[in-house]
Amino acid sequence: MPHPNDPSHRSFIDVSPTSDFPIQNLPYGVFSTRDGLAPRVGVAIGNYVLDLWELEQDSRLDVGPLGVFSSKCLNPFMALGPKVWAKTRARISELLRSDNPELRDNRELRERALVPMADVTLHLPVSVSGYTDFYSSKEHATNVGVMFRGKDNALQPNWLFMPIGYNGRASTVVVSGTKVKRPRGQLKPPTVDVPSFAPCKRLDFELEMGVVVGQASAMGGMLTEQQAEEMIFGFVLLNDWSARDIQQWEYVPLGPFLAKAFATSISPWIITREALEPFRLQGPEQEPAPLAYLKQGKPQNYNVELDVALRAAGANAPASISRTNFKYMYWSSVQQLMHHASSGCAMNVGDLLGSGTISGPEKDQRGSLLEISWNGTEPVELPGGVKRSFLEDGDSLVMRGWCQGNGYRVGFGEVEGTILPAE
């Protein structure tokens, strides 16, 4: 069977070269329609969603347990493992190819199984077991360190030896389009002696990629590079909303807490690790060399273009404020997962790992307003004379990502969120 990543493949469905969802992508998501059926699993192809439950009912897809695609999340399918993932993706690709009449010429099945994207509601694609956020962009960590500790002490001594992370809140991971209420918390500017409880005044975004863990690991064990890689089901865009002023007061001595617990938005389509394979590349040189348990034998970064656009409250259109790339990450997703399990921590199906803010070496490649506005001292200028240092009520943020192939792109769609006033 031809490999699903073959760039010569074409679908019988007309897909634009600029679409995020060609036959070389086939990302998984969970959707519902107006027909009253419960949320179920689908795959994006062009401007359509392929209903995998319909294909399963018609015996066109056989993954093992019957009904795995009628689930309201992808966890049951992910639990079946990498061999099933690869076999299923290959079969879906086969059914969608332009030279295969099986679905192309079956009008009745085609009308049941192909749903216009405009007619669906997309849901959170996984039941998130646990959420961990990392801090793995050297450029981002350096920028933040320079701001708050000075150029000579920008990186903490441990940063070059391990992927730094903290446990976040799985309960407030939400799908793109979910509106985000401005958080409340304790605020203590340097000019006052005691804190007050009030709505956040320095609300920010963080441009990240999210890793969706599709296989569990045992408590007490460790992971090899190959084991960690095979546990990764796929990737999503992730916006880890951040209340900078709440964080500034609360983070000593244990790190972020409520400043990061109020919302984390992810894109609805999970792009599989296999679909990203053609875009794998070597990450930045790591010096000093990682300890033995973190060493990688092959490239583990990906060439994913990323764009952030901000639509100010009342504006008609968003304006791009950052353009960077996932390839800049110092610690790879595989290293993050190996490190996470290295103490004996058990990983679960549905765990979500945030990459940490993704910033590049140039000023226009910074992945947060904290960096873009340099802690509010250099406000962003938007169309119409509007300026922003941090997010205001009514502002909307859109993140997009894609890998550019020869005549096609493997895209992530978008993750969007609009800020509502605090209650």
Tokens standing for residue 112: 């049941």
Q: Contact at 8 Å (CB) between 278 and 358?
A: no
Q: What is the pLDDT of residue 363?
A: 96
Answer whether 311's CB lies under 8 Å from 396's CB.
yes
364/376 Cα distance (integer angstroms): 16
Q: CB of 391 within 8 A of CB of 150?
A: no
Domain 28-123 superfamily per CATH: Fumarylacetoacetase, N-terminal domain (2.30.30.230)
CB contact set of 263 (below 8 Å; sequence gap of 6+): 172, 174, 178, 180, 181, 183, 241, 417
C-alpha closest to that of 3 among 77, 99, 91: 91
Cis? peptide before 253, omega within 30° of 0: yes
Look at residue 189 in the predicted model and tell me its pLDDT: 93
Query: What are the residue numbers of the active site?
Result: 140
Return the amino acid letter for 101.
P
Classified as helix, coil or strand, 199 is strand
214-227 confidence digits (pLDDT tens): 999 999 999 999 99
List the chain domain ranges.
28-123, 131-420
pLDDT in tens, 325-348: 999 999 999 999 999 999 999 999
**pLDDT at residue 67 greater than cutoff 90:** no
Task: Report the pLDDT value the prediction gives residue 107, as an integer from 0 to 100.
Answer: 97
Closest by CA position to 127, among listed 63, 77, 181: 77
CB 17 within 8 A of CB 408: yes
CATH number, domain 131-420: 3.90.850.10
pLDDT tens per residue, range 345-362: 999 999 999 999 999 999
Residue 370 has pLDDT above 80, yes or no: yes
Do the bridges between strand 203-204 and strand 242-243 make them parallel or antiparallel, or are there none, so unpaired?
antiparallel
Which pLDDT band holds residue 1 (cuts at 50, 70, 90)? low
Tokens of 399: 């993140």
Which pTM does this prediction carry? 0.97
Strands 264-266, 173-175: pairing is parallel
The one-character DSSP state at 101 is H
